Structure 1
Amino acid sequence: MARFEILDDQASSMGTTTHADILFDLGLMYATGRDCAVDLVAAHKWFNIAAIKGCERAGSMRAEVSASMNKADLAKALRQARDWMTVH
């Protein structure tokens, strides 16, 4: 469950950098367990999306998280990111 509401009308009007930073923060939240359980699949998903949206820091964090993941979880994270990008 995300702590930021990113599906509302305000998100679509935000600048790309701001939106990417919010997505990066979601990745950090799940990677560190800040206000939620640690979830590397969700962290990788949000870092991946943030990197696609232009956040430079997200790519290195995505690589760091992926080093701790097995192939099945990595595939799941990539699938979730692709599905999110398809809808949004």
Structure 2
Amino acid sequence: MARFEIFDVDSGTLGASAQADVLCELGLMYATGRDCAVDTIAAHKWFNIAAIKGSVRAAELRSELSAGMSKQEIALALRQAREWMTTH
């Protein structure tokens, strides 16, 4: 499921708000462990990217998630988000 969604985002066929929604859903998937292991760093990364693309909901979820993360985990998630943004 996630690979398909990422492929759609990369293909440029979705509108900006649809992209943000898909990315927010990826964050939710990792935050809740839906179809994968819970990964707060990956969840933060996808919420951050979705927020950058305009998702208010993703920004709120990222803020809630950050409350339970260490500074090192947040820094890693931010670094991964930057890397993804520079390559896509």
Please, what TM-score do these two structures have when normalized by structure 1?
A: 0.91
Which residue of structure 2 aligns with residue 39 of structure 1? 39
The amino acid across from 1:45 in the alignment is K
Query: Deviations 1:43-73 (Å, cap 9, x if unpaired)?
Result: 0000000000111101000001111101111
Q: Could you list the runs of 4 or more consecutive aligned residues of structure 1 that deviate by over 4 angstroms after TM superposition?
A: none
CA distance in structure 2 between the aligned counterparts of 1:43 and 1:60, rounded to whole angstroms:
13
The amino acid across from 1:3 in the alignment is A
CA distance in structure 1 between the aligned counterparts of 2:11 and 2:60, rounded to whole angstroms:
24
Which residue of structure 1 aligns with residue 2 of structure 2? 3
CA distance in structure 1 between the aligned counterparts of 2:33 and 2:48, rounded to whole angstroms:
18
Post-superposition shift, 1:3? 1.5
Which residue of structure 2 aligns with residue 79 of structure 1? 79
List gaps (5 residues or longer) in structure 2: none
> Relative to 1, partners in 2 of residues 1:10 and 1:30: Cα closer, same or farther, differing over 3 Å?
closer
CA distance in structure 2 between the aligned counterparts of 1:23 and 1:10, rounded to whole angstroms:
11
Report 1:19-38 matches (<5 A): 19-38=19-38
Contact 1:51 1:59 in 2 (8 A): yes
List gaps (5 residues or longer) in structure 1: none
The share of aligned pairs that are identical, in percent, is 60
Q: CA RMSD in A?
A: 1.7
Post-superposition shift, 1:23? 0.2
Higher helix proportion (structure 1 or 2): 2
Contact 2:8 2:14 in 1 (8 A): no
CA distance in structure 2 between the aligned counterparts of 1:9 and 1:71, rounded to whole angstroms:
29
Post-superposition shift, 1:10? 6.9
